[in-house]
Amino acid sequence: MEPDSAVYKTLLESTKAIPWKIDWATMKFAYVGPQIEALLGWAPESWVSVEDWAMRIHAEDREGVVNFCVAQSKAGVDHEADYRAITRDGEHVWIRDVVHVVRKPDGEVEALIGFMFDITERKKNEARLAELQKELEALSYRDGLTNVANRRMFDSALEVEWANAVRNRTPLSLFMIDIDYFKQYNDHYGHVEGDKALQLVANTLRAQMRRPTDICARYGGEEFVMLIPGFTEEQAERFAERLRTSVNDLAIAHAKSSVQEHMTISVGVCTMTPDQGSEGKTLLRIADSALYRAKKHGRNRIQSAS
C-alpha cells in the first residue's frame, strides 16, 4: 500500500521546523514549507534557487556557510550549519539548517533535503550565558571588598610576567605592601571603618599604575602586592616611595599607630632579571623579606632587597 503523500505533507507543514528540498542538478528548490513566510517574511514561491538562499544569509556569515555546505554536499556528507538569515524587513533570525544528502543508486548526489530551525532564542541564551561566564570569571579574579585583583589573579599574573621576563631578559619588580598597625586600627575604629580604609588604600595604590601590564592585588587582610615589569632598581625604589607617600597623603586618622597619627604603609621591594629555570616565588620571597625588614626598622618606610 502506497503511503499517502498528502498526510506526509500535512505533517511536514504542521511542524515549526521548515522543510525544504533542492534538486542538485538544477540547484533549484523543489519544495519549501509555507512556515518560512511566517518566520522570515519571504513567500515560499520566492525561494527559487540556491542563490535566493545564499543572498538571504547575513553578509558576515554568507561565504563561510555557503562554502561549507557546498563542500559537504559535494562529498555526500550530511551536515548542519548555524547562520543568521535576513528577514524581508531587514532584521535577522538565527537558523540551524540540518541537511541530508540524497544519492542516486550510482552514488551521485540527487537532491538535498533538510529542515530549517529557528534557534534565535537559543543563541540569545548562549550569548547571555557566555556574558555571565565572563562576569563570573572577572569576579573570581577580583577582591570583593577593594575591587583590585585578588591573590588568584596575582599568582596567574606573576607566572605570565615571570615567563615573559625570562624570555626577554627584562627586569621585573615586586612590591609587598603592608598597612602599619592595621589590627590596632580595626580594634579602635571598628571593622566598618577598617573596610573603608582598605578601599581607600587600594584605590590609591591602583591609581599609581600607568600601564596595562601593571598589577595591584590584595594579598592578605591588610597586605597588598604590586607587580611592575620593566623597572630598573632605581625606578622601582622611586615608585615604592611614591606608593608610601600617596597613602601618607590620604591622612586617614590612626590614633593607635606607633609611627604617625595617620595611616601609613611599609613597602618591601625586589627587582630581578630572572634566569632560565628560576621561579617567580623567588621574587616574592625576597620582596616579603624586604617588607619584614622595613617593619622591623620602624615602619612607614620602604626597604629594597639590594
What confidence score (pLDDT) does residue 2 get?
Answer: 44
Does position 148 have pLDDT exceeding 60, yes or no?
yes
Does position 61 have pLDDT exceeding 70, yes or no?
yes
Eight-state DSSP code of residue 297: T
Strand order in the sheet with 172-179: 215-218, 223-229, 172-179, 265-272, 302-304
What confidence score (pLDDT) does residue 15 get?
Answer: 58
C-alpha cell at 223: 597586605
To the nearest whole number, what is the mean pLDDT of the chain?
Answer: 90
Does residue 100 contact residue 78 with C-beta atoms inside 8 Å?
Answer: yes
What confidence score (pLDDT) does residue 55 get?
Answer: 96
Confidence of residue 237 (pLDDT cuts 50, 70, 90): very high
**pLDDT tens-digit series, residues 1-31:** 344 555 445 555 555 789 999 999 999 999 9
What confidence score (pLDDT) does residue 233 get?
Answer: 93
Question: Which residue, among 122, 120, 128, 114, has the nearest Cα to 40 in the 3D structure?
Answer: 120
The model's pTM is: 0.61
What confidence score (pLDDT) does residue 132 get?
Answer: 78
SS3 content of the chain, % helix, strand, coil (to 5): 45, 25, 30
Does position 266 have pLDDT exceeding 80, yes or no?
yes
Does position 63 have pLDDT exceeding 90, yes or no?
yes
Does residue 38 contact residue 65 with C-beta atoms inside 8 Å?
Answer: no
What confidence score (pLDDT) does residue 1 get?
Answer: 34
Confidence of residue 241 (pLDDT cuts 50, 70, 90): very high
Mean per-residue pLDDT for 116-133? Answer: 86
Helical residues (DSSP H) of the chain, grouped into ranges: 5-14, 35-40, 50-55, 59-74, 120-140, 151-168, 182-189, 191-207, 233-248, 280-296
- Measure the CA–CA gap between 64 and 51, rounded to whole angstroms: 15
